[in-house]
Structure 1
Amino acid sequence: MLNGGVRVGLGSRALAILALLAERTGEVVSTQDIVDRVWPNIFVQDNNLRVHVTAIRRALRAGTDDTVAIVNVPGRGYRLNADVTIEAADEQAANVPVVADIRPLPLPLQVNRLIGREALVTEVVESVTRHRLVTIVGSGGIGKTSVALAALAQLRGRTTVCCVDLTNCTSLAHVATATAAALQSPMGRDPIPSMLVERLRTAELVLLIDNCEHLIDTAARAAEALLQSCPRVRLLATSREPLRVPGEVQVHLHPLPVPGVADSVETITANPSVALFAERAAAAGGFALAKENARKVAAVCRSLDGLPLALELAAAATPMVGLEGLSSGLAGRLSPFTFGRRTLARHETLEAMLDWSFELLSPDERRAFSCLSLFRATFDFAAAVQVAANRAPEEAGTAQSVLQLATKSLLAVEPSPHGVVYRLLETTKAYARRKLESSGQANVAARRHAEWVGMLLDRARVDWQQMDRAIWWERYGTAMDDVRAALVWSLGEAGDKKLGISLTLASAPLWLGMSQFAEYHRWLEQAFATLDALGQRGGAEEIRLQIGLCVLLFNIDRPGERFVRAATQVLRIAKKLDDPVARATALWMLSGQRGIMGDHPGSLALAQQMLVPGSIDVDRDLQNFVRRVNALMTFRVGRLEESAAIAADLIASNSDRTAYGAVLRYDHSTIVRGNHSVTLAVQGRLASARAMLMETVIDARRLRNPSSFCYLLSSAACPVALWLGDDELARHYAELLGCTAEDNCFTYMAELATWFSGIADLRMGTPPQPPGLDRLRPPLPHDKDVFITGYAALCDAEATARAEAGAPHWATAEILRADGENRLSADDTVAARAQFERALALATAQGAGLWALRAATSLARLTTPDEAARILIPALAIIEGDEHYPDVRAARALLAGSSR
């Protein structure tokens, strides 16, 4: 976008808002009109709109015309003050789509200038515009990725673009994982997750699938599935051979042109291969292309057959061996060539070049080069030194070797927010890995790599307490491929089994945050088997593995018998080892299971045992965890004021830094606020409950803990939205819960999402979407009570009998009232009135203001006007909220009618 000739940046949402205001310049456009245009069918908070309006104003101020302004008309909306002329726009640049819930990662940074590929980039762009699958085909190291990224950079102004690198993928599941990560979309266990495909079904997107050759069949199946299911998605692939998918268009990438033997100096200097070599050699230092050396450079380029990677490697060596030695060495080593089957000749050329480069290295440099092939992602200097070191006294020499490898371009150096990082190019990495395997040092190097992963996870644990979560994930989220590789080695036959178990434990927050529950479950099972093989069950390692298993079991299929066995095993070992954290965690899990089964007094009794009486020097994080659980269980037995006091004190203490390992116990800050919003709502503090809840959901989503987020949505967000009478908000939260649960294969949470969504539909007078509520498993007792508080018609004889037989709990009063409504529908007015009176008395005694208001309203309908006023006035007096809430509105309408 240009403002007075000045380029300014606006996001797609802000641009859509500005376009709407421009269409109706001079008019006041209501907030609702803006939301309907820019966020159709999505619940949006007011501050979201304000953020985008602020961005527009900032962009307008960047121009030269200060007469253009956006005016906020309080209570009405926004108006654009400007003279607007509507002109026809470039069809390709118009209406760049906004893809819901898809926020692709930025394209990889191309540090070096692309040389000699301009026409090919144009061809790729035009082909992608006309066809849905375009594959750039060429040999290794020829520059396929660079051309593809350059094409995406040009397409980026017209549509959404995304790059998926398959380099570290080994299966269809990993391809799906890489795609979801690049799109920043959560991931479950399906090879091509249905939710991921569903999100792309209506998206207009160009998706680059990079480096397909090692997974050609898998990549082809994935491409065909996306093309069939997502009609507006276009695919750009890079591979050493075609995908052979129907409709595929191939763009073949050949080596750069090389100078002829008889070419003039002027022709040589204009040649792309020479230009590439000269630029990279100049960057390496001490080289400049001139008439005197042009023909020698041309000879080098011919010897390298114009292969870009080989040219770069040779250019990097120029300062060390000189152009004369470089030319003679290549001539003797790289020719004659043996041309065989398709692609093999180019591979042999690159292999010969890498052989030659490898032999130029010192023994220490060769060892370092081979060891660095173990890294799956980028790595920093300290990591390179640790993995490449042979023995500790030689660390200084190793550091020098790493720097030399970077100088010689065998290590690519890339900028990062934390300085620079290194990586090996794909073909170089494969070559280095073969050298490592043949050296006999592969197992030693794999151990050092696994130990480095362990140190990285230790550093991640420390930084967890100090960094913003978004920054933390940016720094450590890319480590998953290296973690996986370290686990493969350490838990394998030749690995260090103890180290493997340690890595399994330390990596838990990464697996959970990256939504890789299915794969983490497999690593847990392998770690259990390893413990059995070592004969080391019953220790601290088993405690942490069992806790991780409990988290998975809870979400996969309700807290059943296997969950109870695992939690009980944690408690048994924790008592034996006198481990207070593990003991508290086990009792929390058992307490939660007891509460879900409807035994709230038993649940509270277990929660009250989480800290050993008289224990001293208890960790603050553990204290907060125990108090949070006790606040919740105290609420559930109906002691609302006591629960609210505990939670308010926890929130006031601002203890928002949950320990790294405590991720398995949910995020403390958001869960304590979510639980407190439930208490506030039942107390009748409706406005406070709504404000706290909405802020907490936003924070919880940002923290990337799917298990914790699902718990918050199911236990607080959905029910509170229903209690507040905001059925649209309840449906939005239920859909969010359903999407997150499906992405992570959380069966239990997916069922709860279906219940809440169905209840919202029933309240709005529409039949629930399939599957119907009658197709689900019967809800567990506590869940059923929650559903009844949201939709009284769900109350049946079983729920009433259970409420009347046990000690009064948080929902007893509302269940009694719901039973009274059922009796009233059956014309049993006397029994109905008795239930309403019991409900009102119990709710008043508990301080459950919302239940008291509902019971008072039900009872007042059966009384005289004077008696109705006597009942309703005190019930309304304790409610924080106005007619915005349906329960308040109904009570006040009844009160107004009784006063006539």
Structure 2
Amino acid sequence: MTGVEISPREAEVLELVGARLSNAEIAARLFISVRTVESHVSSLLRKLEVQDRRALARRAPTSAGAAPSHRAPVLPAPLTSFVGRVSERTELAEMIKAHRQVTAVGPGGVGKTRLALAVAAEAAGEYADGVWFVDLVPVTDPDMTATAVAGALGLGEQPGRDMTESVVAALADRHALLVLDNCEQVVHGVALLIERLLARCPRLTVLATSRARLMVPFERVYAVPPLSLAVDGESDAVALFMERAAAVGWPLDPPLYDQVAAICARLDGMALAIELAAARYPTLGLDGITIALSHPLRMLTGGSRADERHRSVRAALDWSHALLEPADRALLRRVSVFAAPFTAAAAAEVAGIEEGMADEGLIADGLARLAEQSLLVVTASPGGTEYRALETIRQYGTERLAEAGELVDARSRHLRWCLAKATGLAVVREDWRARFDLVADDLRAALAWAAGQPEQRTDAYDLARHLAELTYTRNLTGESQRRYEQAAALAIDPAATASMLRQAAAVAGCRTVGDDVYRLHRASADAARRAGDTAGAAADLATAATTAFRFSTLFVRIPPREEALALISEARELAGDDPAAQAAVALAEAGVLADAFGAAQGPPGNAVPETIARAERAVELARRTGNPLAESAALDALTGAQSWAGDTFAAAATARRRIMLLSSMPISPAGTHELIDALSMATEAGLGAGDVPGARRWARQLADHPSLAEVGHRATCRLLMVDALAGNVDEVLTGSVRFLDAWRRAGSPARSFLRPAATGVAMIHGLRDDHDARREWQEVLDQLGTTPEHTYGYGAVFDAMLLLHHGQAPEALERMAPEPGHVWKWVTWIWLHWYVALRAEAAVLAGRPDSRDRLAEARAVVAGNPVAGAIVERAEALLDDDQEVLLATVDAFGAAGCPYQYARTLVLAGGDHAERGRAVLAGLSLAPMAPAPTPMTTSER
């Protein structure tokens, strides 16, 4: 490591790589972009001369200049000291060592959170991957539990799986302690999540705090006792009171010990109650506190509604509440509806309903008085002073609202406030993300309440719709889909239901969940029928059928062809003369009836003219509707038809038309889904036509698309494919780190569209003679499975390139033994020109007597393709020993953006040119080429 210069930022990245954080997690931790992290990782790979991320992680301790250690605990910083509880800390620490899941149980205010934090901080050094703390206070929906945990872990939405899977994948191999605080209001969600975590994360320990047991397998319960009142002459309760009183500037003399002990005893040793009492000491004194506590405690001891869990905390809160002026009491209970920190302005809107309370200045004064009495926490934020009620106090305030008969009115005002906030967030500004995050928990809480109130159904629908739109913009696509479906369930008008289900289907498409797209379009068709919209129902049914063949790789269960045909038949009957419905039906017919649907089971029926005619009709009908999304989908069908016909250049031109059509579309779930697909198709079609720079440009747009930020394997797969074919080695090495990390964190999905990228990366490592790395990527390919495309398409192309590099022309020719006409066009439409050109070159270098004929056939197939055409020209120049033509192809490869073929041609040219070529290969970090055999000339034959 001596002499290796690593910047401070690289050192930070290296340390986090060593801690096994993903690029997305590192970016979130260091407040930089994922692209910047990728750049630092690539630089570190080069500087430290290691081949992959695993090796880089092993170098992390010494490279970063620090001894290996666990990550710093991700724990809230306590604002006050932790007092006493020596035995409790020891007991709980021993329990989490012995058991994988421990729940610290006790009444509100007993001190569960502080005890858990203290134990977690002390135990942090025993967990290699650190301690993670998740505050579940803002979570009101059990289904959002995993989302809260994901937020604490720095995870985002990953299309194709829910948040629970994301959390499980992130923690699967971690040796960590996860602290889940305040579980009582989402026990069901926490229980389900913990069961999944315990089953699939063998080195994870979970410490939960709750007012009730979670009732999950292997749970060990630790009952948190009140603070000790007298143990060997010492009292933790008294020590806490004395410390907090001193903190507010009023230290107590030792002779007052007995008086303080009496107060603590009357407060049953409850930590929250003691802290509240100590906070009042400067204004009331011990005598005043004693008097003030007399009546509330007497009333709440043994009464008919005396809940054992709440007795002590309720006593403390009732006491504190009794000391408030009537206006402050009203303010406390009304601000209890806020789930997140709020401002004085927000409180004025939601709480200030009586004369004299709507003034923001008066509200701010009242909030200050509540904060002085420790009933609210005050924090400074960029948006101004914010207030927050602790959860116990919030629950207490809610009960007081109900007792005062104000609960419905307060919740309704809060709902209207949330609706206004959601509406205001519709305009995306630079600070949009921060503004959304500030109110997101309130929006969710308001919706959770309103959804169960029949009289609030209209507002609940509006809020669900807004929240669906906002979470989509926030890239929380899983929640967005759920909110759209929730809005559909809340809608009174069936037409609105259908609209929301269509939006949900579009988001499901962005998430690559084909089964949900299909289900939701069928559901929207049912809703459209109820609304009397037969044309809309027809379009939905046809779209469901189209999805089944157009996005078949995204399905877990592909619907049977007969089912899709039945949907088309029904859609045709309902469409009438509606242009949009007719266009949707035509698109479905262009795919399903042209036999593309059966492609997964065998080659398509050779009705090429009919296939193209149906696709062109679909495009024309879609164009008449004036809907760019419908036209883009129809152009996709035409791209497929042209590829089946072997018209590579027409397919590429049609794919480019889609990009132009969609480039000015506003952001929407349907638009994003269509654009991502269009970019994918344009990349592949451009590559098939030899437009490497164009293909790379579109692949780069995919890799940088915000919707794919957290799914690096899907984002980078096509860019890796292009860079591997071109020979952009550094880009492949950098991108493959992101791909592999994201793929593993996603649960290593066996998606066929990922195979070309993995095959290309494996080839690059083969060209580098990096056998260990190539073996690792071969293992990835084994997990992805073998497909016909690998056998006849990209697999043959990448294998042939590697074999030719090593001088194994006969083996390369054997790898591409099938005649091009015998290889299914639906497999090789991207790869046909590459296949034909490399096959011709292999024949020349292998000395095949029919090389001249093969070259002639190849030239006819690849005419117009700058890369494949140059490969064929190079092969013929080698056969004819024509040095001038051979060197002309060097420039052709340079202009086409193919540095590997550029260098290979120079080596094949021999002499001084070969020296230049070897230098270029070395600059690309590739191993030297094996000497190529000299082809037989025409005279020798």
TM-score range with shorter-chain normalisation? 0.5 to 0.7
Cα 1:877–1:760 change in 2 (3 A) is: closer
Partners in 2 of 1:750 and 1:45 — Cα distance?
26
Higher deviation after alignment, 358-367 or 758-767: 758-767
Cα 1:496–1:162 change in 2 (3 A) is: same
What corresponds to 2:79 in structure 1? 111
What corresponds to 2:753 in structure 1? 752
Partners in 2 of 1:281 and 1:12 — Cα distance?
40
Aligned partner letter, 1:428: I
What corresponds to 2:420 in structure 1? 455
Aligned partner letter, 1:525: E
Aligned partner letter, 2:121: A
Partners in 1 of 2:784 and 2:44 — Cα distance?
39
Aligned partner letter, 1:306: G
Cα 1:883–1:686 change in 2 (3 A) is: closer
Question: Which one of 839, 842, 846 corresponds to residue 861 of structure 2?
Answer: 839
Trace 1:270-309 onto structure 2 (pairs within 5 A).
271-279=238-246, 282=249, 289=252, 297-309=260-272
Query: CA-to-partner distance for each residue in 1:820-855, whole Å, 9 max, x for gaps?
Result: 8999999986874454112331xx2xxx43343445
What corresponds to 1:527 in structure 2? 487
Cα 1:879–1:120 change in 2 (3 A) is: same
Identity %: 23
What corresponds to 1:149 in structure 2? 117
Aligned partner letter, 1:557: G
Question: Which one of 848, 865, 876 corresponds to residue 860 of structure 1?
Answer: 876
Task: Name the SS for the 1:666 alignment partner.
Answer: helix
Q: CA deviation at 1:144?
A: 1.4
What corresponds to 1:96 in structure 2? 69
Trace 1:457-476 onto structure 2 (pairs within 5 A).
457-462=422-427, 464-467=428-431, 473=433, 476=436
What corresponds to 1:488 in structure 2? 448
Higher deviation after alignment, 442-451 or 734-743: 734-743
Query: CA-to-partner distance for each residue in 1:584-622, whole Å, 9 max, x for gaps?
Result: 9x9999999989979899989999999999x9xxxxxx9
What corresponds to 2:176 in structure 1? 205
Task: Name the SS for the 1:421 alignment partner.
Answer: strand
What corresponds to 1:63 in structure 2? none
Question: Which one of 699, 723, 726 corresponds to residue 724 of structure 1?
Answer: 726
Q: CA deviation at 1:411?
A: 1.8
Partners in 1 of 2:380 and 2:818 — Cα distance?
64
What corresponds to 1:254 in structure 2? 225
Q: CA deviation at 1:349?
A: 1.9
Query: CA-to-partner distance for each residue in 1:226-250, whole Å, 9 max, x for gaps?
Result: 3454333233232345667787666
Question: Which one of 292, 295, 302 corresponds to residue 329 of structure 1?
Answer: 292
Partners in 1 of 2:659 and 2:194 — Cα distance?
52
What corresponds to 2:150 in structure 1? 180
**Contact (CA 8 Å) 1:758, 1:772: kept in 2 or not?**
no
Question: Which one of 349, 354, 370 corresponds to residue 312 of structure 2?
Answer: 349
Partners in 2 of 1:410 and 1:491 — Cα distance?
29
Question: Which one of 403, 414, 418 corresponds to residue 368 of structure 2?
Answer: 403
Task: Name the SS for the 2:117 alignment partner.
Answer: helix
Cα 1:561–1:259 change in 2 (3 A) is: closer
Aligned partner letter, 2:348: V
Question: Which one of 389, 395, 399 corresponds to residue 352 of structure 2?
Answer: 389
Task: Name the SS for the 1:116 alignment partner.
Answer: coil
Task: Name the SS for the 1:374 alignment partner.
Answer: coil
Trace 1:761-840 onto structure 2 (pairs within 5 A).
766=778, 769=781, 773=785, 813-814=833-834, 832-840=854-862
What corresponds to 1:873 in structure 2? 888
Partners in 2 of 1:191 and 1:640 — Cα distance?
35
Task: Name the SS for the 2:454 alignment partner.
Answer: coil
Task: Name the SS for the 2:317 alignment partner.
Answer: helix
- Answer yes or no: is 1:556 the counterpart of 2:556: no
Task: Name the SS for the 1:114 alignment partner.
Answer: coil
Cα RMSD of the aligned pairs, angstroms, is 6.3
What corresponds to 1:237 in structure 2? 208
Partners in 2 of 1:553 and 1:788 — Cα distance?
31
Cα 1:875–1:547 change in 2 (3 A) is: farther
Partners in 2 of 1:505 and 1:217 — Cα distance?
26
Aligned residues: 775
Trace 1:489-638 onto structure 2 (pairs within 5 A).
489-508=449-468, 510-512=470-472, 517=477, 519-531=479-491, 533-534=492-493, 537=495, 546-553=502-509, 555-557=512-514, 638=649
Partners in 2 of 1:876 and 1:648 — Cα distance?
30
Partners in 2 of 1:437 and 1:175 — Cα distance?
27
**Contact (CA 8 Å) 1:257, 1:272: kept in 2 or not?**
no
Q: CA deviation at 1:572?
A: 8.2
Cα 1:894–1:243 change in 2 (3 A) is: same
Q: Which runs of 5+ in 1 are unaligned?
A: 1-7, 20-41, 54-70, 77-85, 88-92, 99-103, 577-582, 616-621
**Contact (CA 8 Å) 1:220, 1:243: kept in 2 or not?**
yes
**Contact (CA 8 Å) 1:316, 1:409: kept in 2 or not?**
yes
Partners in 1 of 2:482 and 2:237 — Cα distance?
57
Structure 2 length-normalised TM: 0.64
Higher deviation after alignment, 306-315 or 236-245: 236-245
Q: CA deviation at 1:184?
A: 2.1
Cα 1:351–1:11 change in 2 (3 A) is: farther
Q: CA deviation at 1:495?
A: 4.7
Aligned partner letter, 1:430: Q
Aligned partner letter, 2:754: A
Partners in 1 of 2:441 and 2:73 — Cα distance?
17
Task: Name the SS for the 1:496 alignment partner.
Answer: helix
Q: CA deviation at 1:425?
A: 1.8
Trace 1:129-168 onto structure 2 (pairs within 5 A).
132-156=100-124, 159=128, 160-168=130-138
Q: CA deviation at 1:269?
A: 12
What corresponds to 1:62 in structure 2? none
Aligned partner letter, 2:671: R
Cα 1:330–1:608 change in 2 (3 A) is: farther
Question: Which one of 849, 852, 855 corresponds to residue 866 of structure 2?
Answer: 849
Cα 1:298–1:767 change in 2 (3 A) is: closer
Aligned partner letter, 2:459: L
Cα 1:466–1:13 change in 2 (3 A) is: closer
**Contact (CA 8 Å) 2:145, 2:186: kept in 1 or not?**
no
Aligned partner letter, 1:235: V
Higher deviation after alignment, 315-324 or 326-335: 315-324
Task: Name the SS for the 1:507 alignment partner.
Answer: helix
Trace 1:366-445 onto structure 2 (pairs within 5 A).
366-390=329-353, 394-396=357-359, 397-416=362-381, 418-445=383-410
Cα 1:627–1:348 change in 2 (3 A) is: same
Query: CA-to-partner distance for each residue in 1:413-448, whole Å, 9 max, x for gaps?
Result: 234455443322222222222222333333332232
Cα 1:694–1:314 change in 2 (3 A) is: same
Partners in 1 of 2:366 and 2:782 — Cα distance?
63
What corresponds to 2:810 in structure 1? none
Query: CA-to-partner distance for each residue in 1:180-218, whole Å, 9 max, x for gaps?
Result: 222223467988945533442321211112223455676
Cα 1:818–1:683 change in 2 (3 A) is: closer
Partners in 2 of 1:270 and 1:173 — Cα distance?
38
Q: Which runs of 5+ in 2 are unaligned?
A: 1-7, 20-33, 52-60, 540-578, 598-610, 767-773, 801-814, 911-931
Q: CA deviation at 1:326?
A: 3.1
Higher deviation after alignment, 808-817 or 515-524: 808-817
Cα 1:340–1:433 change in 2 (3 A) is: closer
Q: CA deviation at 1:328?
A: 0.7
Q: CA deviation at 1:334?
A: 1.0
